[in-house]
Amino acid sequence: VAQPKPKVLFVLGGPGAGKGTQCAKIVEEFSDWAHISAGDCLRAERQDPNSKDGELIEQIIKEGKIVPVAITVKLLQKAMVASKKSCFLIDGFPRNLDNVTGWKENVGELGAQVCGVLYYEAKEDELEKRLLSRGETSGRSDDNIDSIRKRFKTYISETMPIIDEYKAKNLVYTVDGMPPADEVWKVTQGIVRQVEA
């Protein structure tokens, strides 16, 4: 019997919009789904002393720029296989045109069906506040005001146009990311139910 094609939801939104927080809640409630954070994959690879890409990844993350897709997509695929799940939340990817092309070439429509984009919308001043406060304990090398501003810039110039492209294809589920996380969760939950159905 043929296996059903894996489902994918891309999860996008500005830095600190709540992508990771909401994905964690989704996988708690919906057992078919795996949470694959591109940023987490890259940070783990950076920590691996055997990786030849570690230094490059660190430099790019600090500058709020985007890692070449060949590196990212390889890590995403590895994590997807390791999860043994059939539905994937791909958190923080694709962030630019290079990412979209690299996904299509390496995973593509044969590998997985992209059901849509879960998009968390929030204002920059709120995001800055969240990230600075997280930065007190996160240990993330990009949770400082310099890197945060650079991340915003990249988000506006490179990621927003990608979200707009998916919007034009009617593939975007826009969620207001400004209310408290529990309220955002109620909306998120409804969308995942709809995607699963």
Which residue of this chain has its Cβ atom nearest to ligand UP5 in the complex? 39
Positions of E strands within 31-185: 33-37, 87-91, 113-121, 172-176
Q: Which of 104, 116, 46, 51 is nearest to 73 (CA)?
A: 104
In angstroms, give the least distance from the CB of 131 to ligand UP5.
6
Q: Which of 98, 94, 97 is nearest to 39 (CA)?
A: 94
Closer to ligand UP5 by Cβ: residue 89 or 184: 184
Q: Tally helices (H) and strands (E) across the chain.
A: 10, 5
- The C-alpha atoms of residue 98 and residue 24 are separated, in whole angstroms, by 27
* Residue 111 found at the interface with Mg ion (CB under 5 A): no
* Residue 20 found at the interface with Mg ion (CB under 5 A): yes
Closer to ligand UP5 by Cβ: residue 3 or 48: 48
* Residue 135 found at the interface with Mg ion (CB under 5 A): no
* Residue 6 found at the interface with Mg ion (CB under 5 A): no
181: partner contacted, choices ligand UP5, Mg ion, none (Cβ within 5-8 A by kind) = ligand UP5
Closer to ligand UP5 by Cβ: residue 87 or 122: 122
Which residue of this chain has its Cβ atom nearest to Mg ion in the complex? 20
Q: Near Mg ion by CB under 5 A, which window of 16-24, 61-69, 111-119, 134-142?
A: 16-24
- In terms of C-beta density within 10 A (0-12 exposed, 13-18 middle, 19 or more buried), how is residue 55 classed? exposed
38: partner contacted, choices ligand UP5, Mg ion, none (Cβ within 5-8 A by kind) = ligand UP5
CB 25 within 8 A of CB 132: no
- DSSP assignment of 153-171 equals HHIIIIIHHHHHHHHHTT-
The contact set with ligand UP5 (CB under 6 A) reads 13, 15-21, 38-39, 42, 60-61, 64-67, 72, 92-93, 95, 99, 130, 134, 142, 151, 177, 180-181, 184
- The C-alpha atoms of residue 176 and residue 184 are separated, in whole angstroms, by 7
Residues 53-72 that bind Mg ion (CB under 5 A): none
| Total Cβ atoms within 10 A of residue 54 | 15
Residue ranges binding Mg ion (CB under 5 A): 19-20
